[in-house]
Every structure is written in C-alpha cells, then in structure tokens.
Amino acid sequence: WPPQASGAQALAPVALAPLNDSQAWQMPTPADNPSGKRAVTTAERVEFDVPSEGWNEFMHSNPQKLVLQPETTYRLQYDYTVLREASGGEGATFYQLVRTGAAPVREDVGWQNWTDPAGATGRRVVTFTTRAFPSYYLIFGVRHSGAIRLENIRLWRLPKSEG
C-alpha cells in the first residue's frame, strides 16, 4: 500500500507535517486530558503512556493546517506498536477517529478501535468520507490506561468515483 496508479485514478497524497510540528499537530495539554499527561513526539513518531481511566486523546491534527475537505474520501494509514496493553476499565481500547468542530460526535467518521497485547505491532488502514461540514481533524487516543507508539502516518485523498 498504496497501490500505484496514474492519471485520474492516482491517489493524491496529503502532505503531513512532522509529528513534532506544533503548528500542524496538537497534543492536548495535561489540563485538557483526564490523565494529566502529554504525548512525547519526534519528527517521525508519537508515544503516549496513560495510567488513568477516561477518554485520553493524545494527538489531534490542526484543521487549519491539515484541511480535510467536506464530502471528500480519504485513506489514513499508520503503523503502531503497543507498549502496554489497554486496560483499567470496561471498554479499554486504543482508538482513532475524525471529528468536525462544527458538529462534534454526531458527525464523527473513520472511527476505529482495537486492543492488542503489549509488544504487538501492526498497521491500521481506514477509509473515510467527510460529511458536509468544515474543520474535520484527526484524533488519536487511549480509552482508560495503556501505552502506544504511532509512526509512518500517511493520508491520501481518494479520487471521486465516476458514475
């Protein structure tokens, strides 16, 4: 992945800034996160270790820097390593979704959640279509406690289907 194509069928890569670019990627501050913790970033990866229960969002894209167009289909891909299994309460999981500030929760798209044991590695791929709202942004998080590393985050805009 991604498949190679040319002409009208070619995928359009969306430029993503390095993960430590604070203009493009927002790490919720300890005051904004139930865990009181903040993700650790380098240009290539982000790590988050959370010991407390709650919805612990650790990274958002900035919708002014990474503009996701309304009614457009995208494919998001990233690699992950589970550093500590998600645990600590019912529904403990790692998750990712795409949300609009114009209608939070109700118009979320691209939701994925998963649980893997410590040491597991993998690649997540999700295809999503934004709805007729502006200001969609990517969210990555941990429900309850756990630790994860994300790297090689890529995003493509898919061509509109013909017909």
Residue 82 sits in a domain of what CATH number? 2.60.120.260
Q: Nearest to residue 143, comparing CAs of 74, 64, 55, 62?
A: 55
Question: What would the pLDDT profile of 95-135 be if each residue is shown by its tens digit?
Answer: 999 999 999 899 999 999 999 999 999 999 999 999 999 99
Whether pLDDT at 89 is above 50: yes
Domain that holds residue 44: 24-157
Q: Is residue 90 part of a domain?
A: yes
Q: Is residue 55 part of a domain?
A: yes
Q: Nearest to residue 140, comparing CAs of 93, 89, 74, 72?
A: 93
**C-beta of residue 146 within 8 angstroms of C-beta of residue 82:** yes
Coil, helix or strand at residue 137: strand
pLDDT at 45: 94
Q: Nearest to residue 150, comparing CAs of 39, 68, 2?
A: 39
Residue type, 94: F
Question: What would the pLDDT profile of 35-79 be if each residue is shown by its tens digit?
Answer: 778 899 999 999 999 988 889 999 999 999 999 999 999 999 999
Domain count, the chain: 1
pLDDT, greater one: 121 or 33 = 121
Strand extents, DSSP E, the chain:
12-13, 25-26, 40-41, 45-50, 55-61, 73-87, 93-100, 109-114, 121-129, 136-143, 145-157
Whether pLDDT at 87 is above 80: yes
Whether pLDDT at 7 is above 60: no
pLDDT at 163: 41
All residues at 6 or more sequence positions from 24 whose CB lies less than 8 Å from its CB, including other chains: 16, 17, 18, 61, 62, 65, 66
pLDDT at 5: 54
Whether pLDDT at 28 is above 90: no
